[in-house]
């Protein structure tokens, strides 16, 4: 619902999930994307985000192949920079989806935060995307790297073309399950900033 994507008055993007009847559904939320506006292949993609909390709350910061409408998913490729179950506030996930390794069969890993959960403060979620290599970082600490060798045998590495950015907060779904009586609403994901960098070739030294 458009009203669920706004600025919070303190310089942050706010994507808010609410429990309310709307178009026959019990919940509303929001999604924002750069499809048709901005896409890039490789580089560093990062965002400083404070996450919501609660059973059934599913926020994500992710990239989708810019050729999605032409060839469909998962052939276009998907890079999940940050995916999170609201009922596990100290754990985030980073994943790759492509032909033969999508959905529940994605190539995936997790990061566990010690102390207070990701709902307690802002953290920087990032990838550094090189040719045939993607590394995930949280607060500039690398925690996993995937290359074509990590894919199932015979499946393609589909991460050499431009991808666009998506930020959203889902409610329910196979990854998190439905909200329960302990889930409070509204729940909001706050985004301080998003930054994208290109790799610049280093000039070889010579006479």
Catalytic center residues: 78, 83
CA atoms within 13 A on the CB side of 25: 13
Give the integer Cα–Cα distance in Å for 116 and 54. Answer: 15
Contacts of residue 142, defined as CB under 8 A and 6 or more positions apart, other chains included, come to: 128, 135, 136
Q: Where are the alpha helices (DSSP H) in the chain?
A: 68-71
Contact 197, 43 (CB under 8 A): yes
Q: What is the DSSP letter of 158?
A: -
CA atoms within 13 A on the CB side of 88: 14
* Dihedral angle, C-alpha 21, 24, 29, 34, nearest 10 °: -150
Tell me, what DSSP letter sits at residue 103?
A: G
CA distance 169 to 172: 10
Q: Are 100 and 57 in contact (CB under 8 A)?
A: no
């Amino acid at each position: 619902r458009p009203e669920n994507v706004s600025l919070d008055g303190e310089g942050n993007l706010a994507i808010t999930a609410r429990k309310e009847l709307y178009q026959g559904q019990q919940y509303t939320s929001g999604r924002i994307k750069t499809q048709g506006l901005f896409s890039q292949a490789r580089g560093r993609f990062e965002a400083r985000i404070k996450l919501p909390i609660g059973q059934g709350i599913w926020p994500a910061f992710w990239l989708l192949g810019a050729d999605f409408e032409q060839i469909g998913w998962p052939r276009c490729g998907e890079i999940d920079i940050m995916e999170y179950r609201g009922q596990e506030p100290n754990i985030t996930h980073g994943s790759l989806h492509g032909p033969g390794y999508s959905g529940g069969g994605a190539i995936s890993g997790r990061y566990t935060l010690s102390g207070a959960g990701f709902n307690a403060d802002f953290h920087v979620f990032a990838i550094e995307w090189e040719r045939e290599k993607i590394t995930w970082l949280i607060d500039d600490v690398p925690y996993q790297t995937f290359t074509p060798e990590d894919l199932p045998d015979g499946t393609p590495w589909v991460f050499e073309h431009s991808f666009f950015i998506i930020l959203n907060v889902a409610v329910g779904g196979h990854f998190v399950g439905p909200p329960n009586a302990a889930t409070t609403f509204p729940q909001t994901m706050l985004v301080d900033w998003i930054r994208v960098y290109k790799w610049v070739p280093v000039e070889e030294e010579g006479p």
